[in-house]
């Protein structure tokens, strides 16, 4: 008869978790008597009528205690006990022997096999109950302890796993900064072997590290002293002596009176680089805005000056044409033929003058920033300045021949720009060099030299020269140094062209006489070179 | 109206305008002689010549504002440095002046700024009238200052 008996109501088991007791006796009546005696303990009772069954139960169940009859046919109690003891899972299960004989030999053998007690038949129920109750309690406590230990171990494993999987170096120190625990990220970040870190001061890794304030230190209100201290940016030291920026987050926790500090360390190298990059970009942006603003206010001022000059200079011939045509129409017969003819010539010359001014104006607007709608780079290419000069010489062939002028040209560079604009620029300068000639026949020398940042071209002549006080004046719109022909736009156009090329134009009066007009064209930066 | 010929210093690069000024003076029955300078540089050069006291000073200085090599303000500034020209009335005669140039001209000693009218008749009355007015004012002043010595 080997039946497992659930002796008690389920509802009792919630209060006290039931434990299992194994009762082994070859005599069924004894088993029934034991069962009846132990039922009030409200535990789960399992019954076996031979040693083999008892052993089998021991494979599948953990018992708080085993009550084992010594004298059984076949495998007796001692043999059974020896086998129970030999198994790892049941090595410590308390065994109480039930016997009818008090023999010292039996007692010794029993205790030798690990018996915890002997109960002599006839068994007194109260004694049996109280003895077994002790083992039930013991077993329960043991189980509780085991579970708690297990729970702690799981928590510890979990904590380690979290620590190891953290993207940051995590270091736990005591109050003085001595490292008690560090994750593997710490080794790789600092280049130390982890074992060598334990017991070392965290300040050997981060010299400026300070423990978070403990409540006892009383440094102001630390409302969340078991929480997190604000992040701070510090400098850390690798094993090889190199430095790198880190972002640390500290927290503190109280372990029954002893404070532990957790420091999460994040390598901030990339962050610092990114910040520096952002700062650089911002600075560059601000610079560009400032430059653009300056450019705009410059072109606004230039536009204003231009508008005044244009309105004034265009007004003059119109007014003259109007006044003289009125005069001519009202004077009738009273004026002499000579005067009337002179009036007509005046009208004609001023109409022609107006035409000339408008032509110059159109040309100026075309080359200057004022008329630019498309991006300036749209038609920019690498231009051979030698070809530009050949074109200019061809365009000015009549003027050159008339004056028997000599054009000397050094080998000129290729520059990045626009050939139409460069032809206009050189043509105005060369034409001026010939027109404002002295008594000797004109010699015009053109050269181009590189400086650190720009090409500087020069057009030198042996002409009448220009008084230094007009060196700036002549580059304005409608500016002339004599009352002769010309719209007074030539050098204004040259200035507009050089400005569109990103350069400057100026004139020098060399001691040997004549003039040297120079203009610069900035070299392209590497960045621009790459963009192209 | 004075029958004596007045001497006019005219800085003006447009010969047509010089002719119009002459016509305006004729219509106001002012007999005149004009010294014409066509660039600012020439006019300034002429102005400083009066310093040494040999040349007779003009009765009126008329300057156009926009001239080759410079502007009328520079001529007025040069004239202001010549003591003998202190009592000579000066005026700017121009197509149009920016407000700040207008103020600068008055600060530099111009009695007035005459804007050249576009219509012929207006030019005649405005320019001729202003010149006559300036000459009359000058005469009145010189009489006022000379009278005691005559007495």
Task: Say if strands A454-460 and A443-450 run parallel, antiparallel, or are unpaired.
Answer: antiparallel
In this prediction, residue A292 carries a pLDDT of: 81
The answer to the question of residue A282 being in a domain is: no
Q: Residues A42-71, buried b or exposed e (16+ Cβ, 10 A)? A: bbbbbbbbbbebbbebbeebebbbbbbbbb
Cα gap B108→A278, rounded to integer Å: 55
Contacts with B114 (C-beta within 8 Å, 6 or more apart), sequence order: B91, B92, B93, B94, B126, B127, B130
What confidence category does residue B60 fall into, taking pLDDT thresholds of 50, 70 and 90?
very high
State the Cα–Cα distance between residues B151 and A22, nearest whole angstrom: 162
Beta strands in A144-219 (DSSP E): 169-173, 179-182
What span, in angstroms and rounded, lies between the C-alpha atoms of A66 and B135? 147
Residue A141 has pLDDT above 60, yes or no: yes
* Shared domain check, A440 and A337: no
Mean pLDDT check: name the lowest of A136-140, A370-374, A439-443: A370-374
Query: Is A447 a domain residue?
Result: yes
A290: in domain: no
Residue A112's pLDDT band, with cuts at 50, 70 and 90, is confident
User: CATH no. for residue A489?
Assistant: 3.30.565.10
Cα–Cα distance for residue pair A447/A55, rounded to 1 Å? 115
- Which residue in A9, A37, A42, A13 sits closest to A23, CA to CA? A37
Listed residues A121, A148, A175: the one ending a domain: A148
Residues A458-498 pLDDT 10s: 999 999 999 898 898 888 888 877 766 677 888 988 998 89
Whether B115 contacts chain A with CB within 8 A: no
Mean pLDDT of chain A: 83
Q: What percent of chain A has pLDDT over 70?
A: 88
Contacts of A474 in chain B (CB under 8 A): none
Tell me if A101 is assigned to some domain: yes
What's the pLDDT band for B144 if we cut at 50, 70, 90?
A: low
Cα–Cα distance for residue pair A254/A523, rounded to 1 Å? 68
- Name the residue facing A326 among B68, B96, B119 (closest C-beta): B119
Please give the average per-residue pLDDT across B4-29, as a whole number: 93
- Does a structural domain hold residue A230? yes
Per-residue model confidence (pLDDT) at position A9: 39
Rounded CA-CA distance A180/A172 in Å is: 6
Average pLDDT of the segment spanning A361-378: 63
Q: How many domains are there within chain A? A: 4
Looking at the structure, do residues A237 and A113 belong to the same domain, yes or no? Answer: no
Indicate if the pLDDT at residue A210 is higher than 90: no
Fold of B6-150: Rossmann fold (3.40.50)
Average pLDDT over residues A12-21: 65
Do residue A246 and residue A388 come from a single domain? no
The minimal CB distance from B120 to the residues A323, A479, A482 is found for A323
Residue A303 clears pLDDT 80, i.e. is over it: no
Confidence at A13, pLDDT banded by 50, 70, 90: very low
Rounded mean pLDDT, B62-69: 90
Chain A residue numbers with beta carbons less than 8 Å from the beta carbon of B121 are 326
Residue A236 lies in a domain: yes
Put simply, whether B76 touches A (Cβ < 8 Å) is no
A501: confidence class by pLDDT, cuts 50, 70, 90: confident
Pair (A125, A10) in one structural domain: yes
Residues in chain B within 8 Å Cβ distance of A326: 119-121
B68 and A315 within 8 Å at the Cβ level: the answer is no
Please give the residue of chain B at the shortest CA–CA distance from A469.
Answer: B69
> What average pLDDT does range A257-286 have in this prediction?
88
Q: How far from A475 is each of A394, A429, A483, A491, CA to CA, in Å?
A: 25, 12, 17, 5
DSSP state of A228: B
Which of the two residues, B19 and A116, has the higher pLDDT score?
B19
In a domain, A160, yes or no: no
Residue A366: per-residue pLDDT: 77
Domain parsing of chain B, residue ranges: 6-150
* Residue-wise pLDDT tens digits, A77-90: 889 998 998 888 88
Q: At a CB cut-off of 8 Å and minimum separation 6, what does A95 contact?
A: A65, A66, A68, A81, A84, A85, A113, A114, A115, A116
Q: Which pairs with CB-CB distance under 8 Å and at least 24 residues apart come from A341-345?
A: A342/B19
Q: Are residues A113 and A257 in the same domain?
A: no
Domain's final residue, options A223, A251, A267:
A267
Percentage of chain A exceeding pLDDT 90? 28
- From the CB of residue A496, how many other CB atoms can be counted at a distance below 10 Å? 28
The answer to whether B45 and B69 are in contact (CB under 8 A) is no
- In this prediction, residue B133 carries a pLDDT of 93
Among chain A, residues having any CB pair with chain B shorter than 8 Å are 308, 311-313, 315-316, 318-320, 322-324, 326-327, 330, 342, 346, 350, 467, 470, 473, 478-483, 488
Q: What pLDDT is stored for residue A230 in this prediction?
A: 59
User: Which range marks the domain in which residue A396 is found?
Assistant: 377-531
Q: Clarify whether residues A402 and A505 are in a common domain.
A: yes
Mean pLDDT of A217-237: 58
Task: Check whether residue A519 and residue A411 sit in a common domain.
Answer: yes
Residues A481, A430 share a domain: yes
pLDDT for A351: 93
Look at A485 and A330; give whichever has higher pLDDT: A330
Same domain assignment for residues A431 and A467: yes
**Residues of chain B found within 8 Å of residue A483, distances taken between Cβ atoms:** 13, 38-39, 68
A308 with B116: Cβ contact below 8 A? no
Residues A344, A460 share a domain: no
Q: What is the pLDDT of residues A154-206, one digit of tens each?
A: 988 888 888 888 888 989 888 888 998 888 888 888 888 877 888 889 888 88
CA dihedral A284→A285→A287→A292, nearest 10 degrees, is: 140
- Please report the pLDDT score of residue B151 as a whole number: 35
This complex has an ipTM of: 0.84
pLDDT-derived band at B26 (thresholds 50, 70, 90) equals very high
Same domain, A319 and A456: no
pLDDT in tens, A420-459: 889 989 999 999 999 999 999 999 999 999 998 899 999 9
pLDDT of A519: 96
Q: Tell me: do A513 and A384 sit in the same domain.
A: yes
Would A293 be classed as within a structural domain?
no
B-interface mutation test, from A308, A310, A320, most B Cβ less than 10 A away: A320
Average pLDDT, chain B: 88
| pLDDT at residue A244 greater than cutoff 60 | yes
């Amino acid at each position: 008869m080997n039946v497992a008996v659930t002796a008690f109501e389920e509802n009792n088991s919630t209060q006290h978790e039931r434990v299992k007791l194994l009762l082994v006796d070859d005599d069924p009546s004894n088993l029934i008597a034991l069962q009846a005696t132990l039922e009030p303990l409200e535990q789960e009772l399992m019954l076996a009528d031979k040693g083999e069954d008892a052993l089998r139960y021991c494979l599948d169940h953990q018992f708080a205690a085993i009550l084992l009859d010594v004298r059984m046919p076949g495998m007796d109690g001692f043999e059974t006990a020896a086998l129970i003891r030999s198994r790892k899972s049941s090595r410590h299960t308390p065994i109480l022997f039930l016997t009818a004989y008090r023999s010292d030999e039996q007692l010794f053998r029993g205790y030798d096999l690990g018996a915890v007690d002997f109960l002599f038949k006839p068994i007194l129920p109260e004694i049996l109950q109280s003895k077994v109750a002790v083992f039930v309690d013991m077993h329960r406590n043991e189980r509780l302890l085991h579970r708690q230990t297990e729970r702690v171990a799981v928590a510890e494993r979990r904590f380690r796993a979290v620590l190891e999987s953290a993207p940051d170096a995590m270091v736990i120190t005591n109050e003085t900064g001595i490292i008690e625990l560090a994750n593997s990220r710490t080794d790789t970040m600092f280049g130390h072997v982890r074992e060598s870190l334990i017991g070392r001061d965290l300040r050997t890794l981060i010299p400026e590290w300070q423990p978070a304030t403990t409540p006892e230190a009383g440094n102001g209100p630390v409302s969340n002293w078991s929480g997190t201290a604000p992040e701070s940016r510090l400098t850390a030291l690798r094993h090889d002596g190199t430095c790198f920026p880190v972002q640390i987050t500290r927290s503190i926790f109280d372990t029954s009176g002893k404070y532990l500090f957790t420091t999460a360390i994040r390598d901030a190298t990339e962050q610092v680089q990114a910040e520096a990059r952002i700062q650089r970009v911002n600075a560059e942006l601000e610079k560009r805005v400032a430059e653009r603003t300056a450019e705009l206010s410059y072109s606004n001022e230039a536009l204003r000056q231009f508008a005044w000059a244009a309105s004034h200079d265009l007004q003059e011939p119109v007014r003259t044409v109007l006044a003289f045509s009125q005069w001519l129409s009202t004077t009738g017969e009273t004026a002499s033929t000579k005067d009337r003819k002179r009036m007509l010539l005046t009208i004609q010359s001023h109409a022609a003058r107006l035409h000339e001014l408008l032509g110059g104006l159109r040309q100026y607007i075309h080359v200057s920033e004022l008329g630019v709608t498309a991006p300036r780079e749209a038609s920019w290419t690498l231009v051979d300045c030698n070809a530009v000069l050949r074109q200019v010489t061809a365009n000015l062939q009549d003027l050159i021949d008339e004056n028997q002028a000599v054009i000397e040209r050094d080998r000129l560079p290729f520059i990045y720009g626009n050939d139409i604009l460069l032809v206009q620029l050189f043509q105005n300068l060369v034409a001026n060099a010939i027109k404002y000639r002295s008594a000797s026949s004109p010699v015009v020398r053109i050269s181009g030299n590189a400086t650190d940042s720009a090409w500087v071209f020069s057009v030198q002549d042996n002409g009448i020269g220009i008084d230094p006080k007009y060196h700036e004046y002549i580059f304005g719109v409608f500016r002339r140094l004599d009352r002769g022909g010309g719209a007074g736009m030539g050098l204004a156009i040259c200035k507009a062209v050089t400005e569109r090329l990103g350069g400057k134009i100026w004139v020098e009066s060399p001691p040997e006489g004549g003039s040297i007009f120079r203009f610069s064209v900035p070299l392209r930066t590497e960045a621009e070179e790459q963009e192209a | 109206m004075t029958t004596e010929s007045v001497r006019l210093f005219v800085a003006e690069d447009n010969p047509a305008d010089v002719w119009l000024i002459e016509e305006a003076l004729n219509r106001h029955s002012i007999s005149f002689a004009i010294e014409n300078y066509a660039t600012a540089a020439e006019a300034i050069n002429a102005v400083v010549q009066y310093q040494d006291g040999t040349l007779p000073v003009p009765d009126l200085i008329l300057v156009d504002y926009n001239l080759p090599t410079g502007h009328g303000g520079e001529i007025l500034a040069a004239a202001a440095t010549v003591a003998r020209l202190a009592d000579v009335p000066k005026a700017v005669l121009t197509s149009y002046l920016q407000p700040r140039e207008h103020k600068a001209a008055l600060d530099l000693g111009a009695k007035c700024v005459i804007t050249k009218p576009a219509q012929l008749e207006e030019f005649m009355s405005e320019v001729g009238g202003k010149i006559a007015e300036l000459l009359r004012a000058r005469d009145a002043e010189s009489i006022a200052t000379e009278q005691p010595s005559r007495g």
